[in-house]
Amino acid sequence: MTKIRAHASEPGATAPPIQALFLDIGGVLLTNGWDRQARGRAAERYRLEPDDFEERHHMTFDAYERGALNLDEYLNRVVFHRPRTFTREAFTAFMFSQSQAHEDMIALVRHLKEAFGLRVAAVSNEGRELMLYRIRLFGLSSFVDAFIGSAFIGHRKPELAIYRMALDVMQVPPEAIVYLDDREMFVQLARELGIRSIHHESYAATRAALASLGLRLSPAKEHPHSGSH
């Protein structure tokens, strides 16, 4: 069932036209960069002890995503705290290779930006090196105007500070913004600031939810891979 979870900040209020699109990167435009499934594949490939690997990751990754650690420091604590038969370069390359594009969503955002003159901001929990790699590889800066990344600003979701930073940078009123995130809790947090928000569960459902807010594309641009990166 299509779930459209978007509303104006005041019940019954007439919502202004959408001027900006805020969105997560992992789970919306791209796969998650370094999630449990990717770590499971790494543990199997490199014969890491899964429980120890996961425990060390969870004790360390928050600091990496906040920018308090760089990638080498993260890997020192999680993988290379003991001698390994593989190199740091090989492991890092594998880690980066887990990122894949959601071509349909990239095409949708590109078309919406062009058709409605939207400003686009990525509001994302990402470590610095991984985020920079993903921005370059998938050409995200060609259609994203600002990257409010956790490692860049020292705050991460679920802190409201990251959303407030995005509002300050973009200078668009909350009620004129739509936010897309695949994590329902993060959608709910954005709504606390009056941002109209959609819980992204699929391309088709999100496209329908955006259309209900006035962001409807012409049929010629509705094909999911039309003009995608």
pTM of the model: 0.87
Q: Give residue 122's pLDDT.
A: 98
Q: Is 36-97 in CATH node 1.10.150.240?
A: yes
- Residue range 27-43, pLDDT digits in tens: 999 999 999 999 999 99
Write out the residue limits of the CATH 1.10.150.240 domain(s) in the chain: 36-97
Q: Give residue 6's pLDDT.
A: 39
Which region among 137-151, 177-191, 215-229 has the lowest average model confidence (pLDDT)?
215-229
What is the rounded average pLDDT of the residues 115-140? 97
Write out the residue limits of the CATH 3.40.50.1000 domain(s) in the chain: 20-31+101-221
CA 133 distance to own-chain centroid: 14
CA 27 distance to own-chain centroid: 6
Structure confidence at residue 4 as a pLDDT band (50, 70, 90): very low
Say whether pLDDT at 229 is over 50. no
Structure confidence at residue 220 as a pLDDT band (50, 70, 90): low
Q: Tokens at residue 206, please?
A: 């999100």
The fold adopted by the segment(s) 20-31+101-221 is: Rossmann fold (3.40.50)
Burial code of 156-169, b = ≥16 C-beta within 10 A, e = fewer?
Answer: bbebeebbebbbeb
Q: Tokens at residue 133, please?
A: 């790699």
Q: Give residue 16's pLDDT.
A: 83
Structure confidence at residue 215 as a pLDDT band (50, 70, 90): very high
Say whether pLDDT at 228 is over 60. no
Say whether pLDDT at 75 is over 80. yes
Q: Tokens at residue 172, please?
A: 């668009």
What is the rounded average pLDDT of the residues 188-213? 97
